[in-house]
A = this chain, B = another copy of it.
Amino acid sequence: MLEQTPTDGPAGARRAQKSRTLWVFEQLRAEILDGRLNPGARLHLAALADRHAVSLGAVREALSRLAADGLVLVQDRRGFRVSPVSIADMRDVTATRIEIEGLALRRSIERGDAEWEAGIVAALHVLVRATPGLITDPVLAKPTWVGLHERFHLSLISACGSPWLLRFRQTLFEQSERYRALLVAYAIGGRDISREHQEIAAATLDRDADRAVDLLAAHFNTTTAMLEQADRSGASILSSEAS
């Protein structure tokens, strides 16, 4: 009854406030998103529990939540595995994402106020400053860039007013990130991302919905096309190997 500190635990509260389940959930999510866990790999409950120093139940619950986001596949009685990837799925993710995010962008353009505009300008500025001109060595690109990139895209659609659209967008965004991580591993540089972002922001602030959505679609399609090309020429990135 002594460690029951009234306000908060100042001492050894390194990771307190967070349930163990949430902890492994975030760990595993990150590992899947940046490709440390291969698509299709089997997820051994016991091994994961041991590695992250938690019980089976915690791992099980974390994996269930990941399955909900489509990052993990659960086969009744046969355990969990990382969701496989495929070109067909990547195309579907991209196409659906264009529709969803395009919809959200149109709504934001209709409804956004001055504060929304300010958010875009701010996010774009920070992002461009963090982008080193052309991406030459994407492998070493700071992980912060990924966060800033997401923030920029979120700022574009933040005024859409639909929690459900944003929720679906988030799911598709995570799926896209997974494919992008695979691409980065085999990356080909020579793409002026900053310019693309600036053009999208400009069209949005001009309230030119059609043009903004077109640019956004092209932005997404370029990444997908690059990955498709890399898959065809190079080794088969998009095969779901087991671990």
Q: A-side interface residues toward B, CB under 8 Å?
A: 18-19, 22, 57, 60-61, 64-65, 67-70, 76-77, 89, 92-93, 95-96, 99-100, 103, 162-165, 167-168, 172
Contact = CB atoms under 8 A, between A and B. Distances in A.
A164 B67 contact: no
24 contacts: A18-B76, A19-B77, A22-B76, A57-B57, A57-B60, A64-B65, A65-B67, A65-B68, A67-B68, A68-B68, A68-B69, A70-B167, A89-B163, A93-B164, A95-B162, A96-B162, A96-B164, A96-B165, A96-B168, A99-B103, A99-B165, A100-B168, A164-B172, A168-B168
Q: By DSSP majority rule, is chain A's interface helix, strand, loop, or mixed?
A: helix
B68 A164 contact: no
Nearest to A97: B164
Contacts of A95: 162
Contacts of A172: 164
B19 A76 contact: yes
Given A57-B57, A57-B60, A163 B99 contact: no
A56 B36 CA distance: 32
A224 B64 CA distance: 32
Contacts of A77: 19
Q: Which of A22, A89, A96, A163 has most B Cβ within 10 Å?
A: A96
Contacts of A100: 168
